[in-house]
Amino acid sequence: MGKKLVVLLCLGWISANTLAKNIELIAYDKHTVLVRTAAVYHRLSVQQTASGSIVVDTLYYFQPPRSNADYSDFLGNHQGAGDTCINRFTLLAPGKITKLMMQNMSGGTANWFLWAPAVKDNRYQFPNESGMVQLLAQPADWPCLKLNMAQQTMDSLLWNTYDLAVENSIVELDSSQLDFWVGYRLDNNGDPKIYQDGVYHYQWSEGSCRSFTTINNSGDWFGIFQPGTDNWVAHMMQVEVVYEKIPPIISKLPDLCDTFAASRTIWAEVVEIEGDNFEVNLTSKIGLNGQPEIQEMNFDTLNYFWANLEYNPGDTVYYYVRAEDSTGMAQCSQWKSFVCVPPPLETHILLIDNSGIQTGDRYIDALNRLGLDFFYWNLDEHKGIDTTVIFYPDFLTLLVLDGDDMILPVTDIEHQDIYNIAGFLNSGGNLLLVDMDYFYRWDLIGEGNFESGDFAYDFLGIEDYESDPDDDYNPDNGGIADTLLLSVAKNPVTSAFSVDSLAYGPLRYQIGDSVILNWADFIEPSNDGRQVFRGKISKRGLAVCLESKYYRTATFCVPIELAESTAEFYSLLDSTLAWLNENTTRLDTTFSDIERQQPVALNSSFHLLGNYPNPFNPVTTISFELMERDKVTVRIFNLLGEQVAEILNAELKPGIYFYNWTAKSGNGRLLPSGIYIYRLEVGSQSAAGKMILLR
């Protein structure tokens, strides 16, 4: 395989019988395996023939329907005689194309085509571009019947099938033709238009559009996109291919965030559907130019393998997994990497930057000018954060600029606190939260209140809130947004802004030329909380602080860094951090009567391994490792803390377990798109994770 193609695919052939793909395992049983590469699904099954076993692969990337009404002519009746609908598919290995299938909304005749290679010079090319070869022998006009969609069930879709074996037209694709186009051209007899799935495929998760058509026989190619986005709709088409053999399939090799930990256990799931013996190896190196080291991974249970990696602070660790069966067929994962970040010495402030408005640099500048030692952690740059960072012993105060990763829970501590922030605070830590979308991200819209047991109530001292009070997104009318803030008397944080003439602000809801079409939220304190700021115009609360026996917190639901005067911003940040850091409980090693909740990552009785895929549709697998025999439950909650499903409630012995969730409620009802929390409870201990359902 040429070097240029290796770079293009971000993967490579190690040899003629070695395949490297980024493969996602969706589901499997004794007879079939469902995997996905980019947007393409592969339903694999082993079948016996007179000459031995073969692997049959059905390729598609449409979304299965929830009802027959999901499918329609989303081209708006633009299909006509001479037009061609094309889909781009990707094979797992060299193979033979045996069947082409389509789902049409009207009867007539048409012609099939197959072009390869669809990838050239670091881009995919269309069938009418130079270098493309039409590999399918031109058949006579192929008749296709109008499908009676009323007879279709969700478990058994209807297809018009062009059987290449019957037509003596089987096409064999080699390793240079793994990407190919399948085309379906309407002729002048009956106009057999093809259906589309009517479900938007997100470019960020499924890649660029693979489904196009000509319109009015123009020769130009058009995709069907969601207005204003790159999200695309697929033609209802699938392909069947036969492989003589395929390598073991590697899936669920996690992308790890950077860490303070000096060792890690790498887990991988590997499935061999043909029954061959195989081995799994982990290759790692320190730095891009480091010497690769290979170690055999340990088999644990089911299809999971693991190996330990040790390294030093400052190392960038690269790793990939290779699985090879007894016949020499092998698959390699992509290289992955993480950094062992050297922890700071005697630094008490951790600045966690997940800001949706990209203002972290203003806090860096302010902290530097104030002469405060701090450690900066950007979630995008570090690919997330783990508890070895949050619970680092020298950190006394977390300064969180929250965003889409939702570091902090809001209501149900037990089910939303996946980073164990409550544990950090209960261990004597402090928290400064700045986020004007804190409630909105947790789907709390409009007015509401918290009560005992909610994180915002117990740890932030917030009782009442109003999310996005100025929701008309019109920066010209001002709405009810406050640009001047007045300090509330006798609060411990903002005494410098206690009179009208010394109001904090004005705030400029603008960064450069970009106007921020979002305003601050209103918050009112609980009995234990203290009001910090009120809006000069609205007279509503915008900031709250709380002092408990073990911790202190301050919450600003307004972007204080957008003050017109940087000196005011520095003064407010300085006074807030000074008040928080007066509480040194977490640094006091003699303090022993506190309930020091340990992060889940340090729990020795079980490990929550996460869910995959994430985001998902329609099924995801939740996995965990159990060290001791115990009672185990796995429950699913929505963002309101309401339980929507329980997928496990049993006593289990030690081992690694995998449980699928099909995004249905306990009574079998399909649940809508959104964020869900899964909660693993083992005995008296628990851990949680966040997952995103995209329908």
Q: How far is CA 502 from CA 349, 487, 498, in A?
A: 28, 9, 7
Looking at the domain that runs over 250-339, which CATH code has it been given?
2.60.40.10
The answer to whether the CB of 657 falls within 8 A of the CB of 53 is no
Residue 480 has pLDDT above 70, yes or no: no
- Which pLDDT tens digit goes with each residue over 632-671? 999 998 877 788 999 999 888 877 777 888 888 887 778 8
Whether a cis peptide bond, with omega within 30° of 0, leads into 615 is yes
Cα separation of 389 and 352, whole Å?
10
pTM, entire model: 0.71
Q: Which of 15, 10, 334 lies closest to 1, judged by CA? A: 15
Helices (H), 327-482: 360-369, 387-390, 413-416, 421-426, 438-441, 455-458
Residue 241 has pLDDT above 50, yes or no: yes
Residue 533 has pLDDT above 50, yes or no: yes
- Which pLDDT tens digit goes with each residue over 262-271? 888 888 888 8
Domain covering 603-693: architecture: Sandwich (2.60)
CA 451 to chain centre: 31
What's the full length of the chain, in residues?
695
pLDDT of residue 481: 66
- Which pLDDT tens digit goes with each residue over 608-639? 877 777 777 777 888 887 878 889 999 998 87
Of the candidate ranges 87-91, 203-207, 330-334, 410-414, the one whose mean pLDDT is the lowest: 203-207
pLDDT of residue 464: 96
Residue 465 — very low, low, confident or very high, per pLDDT cuts 50/70/90? very high
**Helix (H) / strand (E) containing 310:** strand 304-310
**341 versus 196: which is more confidently predicted?**
341
Query: What's the token pair of residue 146?
Result: 């109008």
Q: Which of 399, 418, 302, 407 lies closest to 349, judged by CA? A: 399
Letter string b/e over residues 206-222, b meaning 16 or more CB atoms within 10 A of that residue's CB: bbebbbbbbeeeeeeee
Over residues 452-481, the mean pLDDT reads: 77
Residue 603 — very low, low, confident or very high, per pLDDT cuts 50/70/90? very low
Residue 299 has pLDDT above 80, yes or no: yes
Residue at token pair 């997952």? 691
Residue 483 has pLDDT above 60, yes or no: yes
- Which pLDDT tens digit goes with each residue over 157-197? 889 899 998 878 899 999 889 899 998 888 767 677 888 88
Residue 399 has pLDDT above 70, yes or no: yes
Residue 219 has pLDDT above 50, yes or no: yes
Residue 349 has pLDDT above 50, yes or no: yes
**690 versus 41: which is more confidently predicted?**
41
Q: Where are the beta strands (DSSP E) in 61-107?
A: 84-90, 95-102
- Fold of the CATH domain 349-371+382-587: Rossmann fold (3.40.50)
pLDDT of residue 320: 94
pLDDT of residue 368: 96
CA 332 to chain centre: 22
Ranked by mean pLDDT, which of 51-65, 184-198, 343-357, 412-426 comes out on top? 343-357
pLDDT of residue 413: 79
Fold agreement (250-339, 603-693): yes
**What single-letter amino acid sits at 454?**
D
Cα separation of 693 and 403, whole Å?
19
Cα separation of 125 and 143, whole Å?
29
Residue 283 has pLDDT above 90, yes or no: yes
Q: How far is CA 79 from CA 103, 129, 213, 449, in A?
A: 14, 22, 8, 54
Of the candidate ranges 429-433, 438-442, 473-477, 672-676, the one whose mean pLDDT is the lowest: 473-477
Mean pLDDT of the chain: 82
Q: For the chain, how far is it from start to end, CA to CA, in angstroms?
A: 37
Neighbours of 390 (CB within 10 A): 23
pLDDT of residue 396: 95
pLDDT of residue 26: 75
Residue 2 — very low, low, confident or very high, per pLDDT cuts 50/70/90? very low
- Which pLDDT tens digit goes with each residue over 161-170? 999 988 788 9
DSSP 510: E
Cα separation of 411 and 354, whole Å?
20
Of the candidate ranges 99-103, 370-374, 395-399, the one whose mean pLDDT is the lowest: 99-103
Name the residue ranges covered by the structural domains of the chain. Answer: 31-243, 250-339, 349-371+382-587, 603-693
DSSP-derived pairing of the beta strands 52-60 and 108-116: unpaired
**695 versus 528: which is more confidently predicted?**
528
Letter string b/e over residues 604-617, b meaning 16 or more CB atoms within 10 A of that residue's CB: eebbbbbbbbeebb
Over residues 558-572, the mean pLDDT reads: 92
Cα separation of 331 and 17, whole Å?
9
What's the farthest any 2 CA atoms get from each other in the chain?
92
Backbone angle region of 6, left / alpha / beta, with phi > 0 → left and psi within -120 to 50 → alpha:
alpha
Residue 67 — very low, low, confident or very high, per pLDDT cuts 50/70/90? low
Residue 11 — very low, low, confident or very high, per pLDDT cuts 50/70/90? very low
